[in-house]
Structure 1
Amino acid sequence: MSQIFFDNWETLFRTLIIGVLAYVSLVILLRISGRRTLSKMNAFDMVVTVALGSTLATILLNRDVALAEGVLAFALLIGMQYLVTWSSVRVPWVRKIVTGEPALLVYDGNLLSSALKRARVTEDEIHSAVRSSGSQTLEHIKAVVLETDGSFSVVKQENSQATTSLQGIVVPGKGKLDGSDLH
């Protein structure tokens, strides 16, 4: 019964020392790997982040995992993330697999119901994004895009010069926007 609350001082001391060293190692590796590791996340980045947290917890709580093994696991995960992101910048098919494509949910003030269903987004979420952008109705909205990181981008009608950011977005029934149809 006493082991539920306290096993021995050696275990606590190990957790303290390994915890500090593992945390410092993780911070150093994240700093070396660059800002991408800490930026807004797509699904791949989220998996790596969860795996890093799980690895840190394992290092802290599992006596069978040495600090060197844990730091190697950190380096492996961060190295794999670096390799995949490096490849996604240079190889289009890798980028498509890793990041996916943004989804157009509203165009010219109209909700695109089939796109909402495919993206599993409710009308309430769209209205919330529109309100957050400072607009009151969909009539003032050129487009709402579900970005690859899960956030919503709202492009207002009056930002006609800014709508070139919609280039390449697929509009159901119209195809990809090319810039000529954005104003």
Structure 2
Amino acid sequence: MNWAEMFFQSWSGIARTLIVGTIAYAFLVVSLRVSGKRTLAKLNAFDLIVTVALGSTLASILLSEGIALAEGMTALVLLIVLQYLVTTLSVRSKRFAGFVRSEPTLLLRDGTPLHGAMRKARVTQAELETIARTEGHGGIEGLSAVILESDGSFSVIDGTR
């Protein structure tokens, strides 16, 4: 590939990207609306993986001439259907839900770090203090709890409020 081809290959490639991209994007938006809000909820690692996979699939449809629009749309539908099945099974079976998602982890109780839980979650004391400051607290003293949620976010419960 020469320098010029790095910046421009053909008008047909640009036209394909515009046409296929618009159709694939519209299809994904409609599919997500039909499948419901839960499809893109980032409640746990599994949900995040599905969200990233949908984005990656859309990018592949847009940029890879070797992937036909129908194949790409099929891949998007497959990911959405699989997400729907997994979430449905999670609601109906606690055992399956436990396999797919993690439970929240209590890292601090009444201002005292729970070192075993922190070690298991791979969270340091310095990170715990940063979380407290980010939430507007001077430190971890006075906090009722810090919880590492299933989606990787932290919840801080203030003992004074």
TM-score normalized by the length of structure 1 = 0.80
Give 1:128 deviation, angstroms: 2.3
Return the alpha-carbon distance in structure 1 between the equivalents of residues 91 and 158 of structure 2.
Answer: 29
Give the one of 39, 44, 47 matched to 1:45. 47
Q: Distance in 1 between matches of 2:139 and 2:12?
A: 63
Letter in 1 for 2:139: T
SS of equivalent to 2:79 = helix
- The question of 1:104 aligning with 2:106 is answered yes
Q: Give the share of equivalent positions with the same residue, in percent.
A: 51
2:42 partner SS: coil
Quote the residue 1:64 is aligned against.
66
CA distance in 1, matches of 2:40, 2:66: 29
| The 10-residue stretch of structure 1 (127-136 or 80-89) with the greater mean CA deviation from structure 2 | 127-136
Structure 1 residues 115-166: Cα deviation after superposition (integer angstroms, max 9, x where no partner): 111111122221122233333333312211101011111222246xxxxxxx
Gapped runs of 5+ residues in structure 1? 160-183
Q: Deviations over 1:60-98 (max 9, x none)?
A: 122221111111110100110011011111100111112
Aligned length: 159
Task: Read off the aligned partner of 2:68 and give its amino acid letter.
Answer: A
Name the CA distance, whole Å, in 2 between partners of 1:39 and 1:4: 37
Identify the residue that residue 26 of structure 1 maps to in structure 2. 28
- Higher mean C-alpha deviation, range 131-140 or range 31-40: 131-140
Q: 1:52: how far off?
A: 1.0
- TM-score, with structure 2 as normaliser: 0.90
Give the number of the structure with larger relative contact order, counting CA–CA contacts within 8 Å between residues 6 or more apart. 2
SS in 2 for 1:139: coil
- Supply the AA of the counterpart residue of 1:131: R
2:75 is matched by which residue type in structure 1?
A
Partner residue in 2 for 1:164: none
Q: Residues 20-69 of structure 1: CA distance to partner in whole angstroms, max 9, x if unpaired? A: 11111111111111111232341101111111111111111222211111
Query: Contact 2:128–2:140 (CA<8 Å) still a contact in 1?
Result: no
Is the contact made by 2:118 and 2:124 (CA closer than 8 Å) also made in structure 1?
A: yes
Inter-partner Cα distance in structure 1 for 2:141 and 2:6: 61
Q: How does 1:1-183 map to 2 (within 5 A)?
A: 1=2, 2-158=4-160
